[in-house]
Amino acid sequence: MLHDTAALWFAFIVIGLATTLPRSSFFMAPKKYQPSQHSYALLKYAPISALTAIIIPDVLYVDQTVQLLNPKILAALCTVLTILITRNPWLPFIIGTSALILLQSRL
Binding site for other proteins (CB under 8 A): 1-2, 5, 8-29, 31, 34-35, 40-60, 66, 72, 75-76, 79-80, 83-84, 89-90, 92-93, 96-97, 100-101, 104
Q: 47 in helix, strand or coil?
A: helix
Least gap, CB of 63 to other proteins (angstroms): 14
Q: How far apart are CA 81 and CA 92, in angstroms?
A: 9
User: Is the CB of 2 or the CB of 107 nearer to other proteins?
Assistant: 2
The alpha helices in the chain, defined as continuous H runs, are 5-28, 37-43, 46-60, 71-85, 91-106
Q: Distance between alpha carbon 10 and the CA centroid of its chain, in Å?
A: 21
Least gap, CB of 46 to other proteins (angstroms): 4
Least gap, CB of 69 to other proteins (angstroms): 14
